[in-house]
Structure 1
C-alpha cells in the first residue's frame, strides 16, 4: 500500500514539475538522453575492442 502511494506521489510531482517548468524539464530529458547515448557508444566501443 505504501509503495503504491509513493509511486503516485512521484508521478504527481513529475507532472507538476513538467507543467511548472517545461524548459527545465526538456533540458533534463535532453541531457539524460545524451548521457545514455554516450554510455551506449562507450559500451559498444568496449565490446567492439574485445573482438
Structure 2
C-alpha cells in the first residue's frame, strides 16, 4: 500500500473514533471498559494458572 493510502485510512479511522466518542460518549466508555475488562480477565487467568 502506498503511503498516502495508509494516511487516508488512518485519518478515517481516527475521525470515526472521534465522531463516535463525541456522539455516543456512554457507549464509547462502555466499549473501553469492556476492552480493559478483557485484559483484567486475562491477567486473572494467568495469575491463577501460575499458582
Q: TM-score, normalised by structure 1?
A: 0.81
Note the C-alpha offset of 1:31.
1.1
Q: Aligned-pair RMSD on alpha carbons?
A: 1.1
Aligned to 1:34: 37
> How many residues are matched?
48
Q: What stretches of structure 1 of length at least 5 have no aligned partner? A: none
Flag structure 2 segments of 5+ consecutive residues without an equivalent.
Answer: none
**Are 1:4 and 2:7 counterparts?**
yes
Cα distance between partner residues in 1 of 2:43 and 2:7: 32
- Counterpart in 2 of 1:43? 46
The runs of at least 4 consecutive aligned structure 1 residues that moved more than 3 Å come to none
Residues 11-42 of structure 1, C-alpha deviation per residue, up to 9 Å, x if partnerless? Answer: 00000000000000001111111111101221
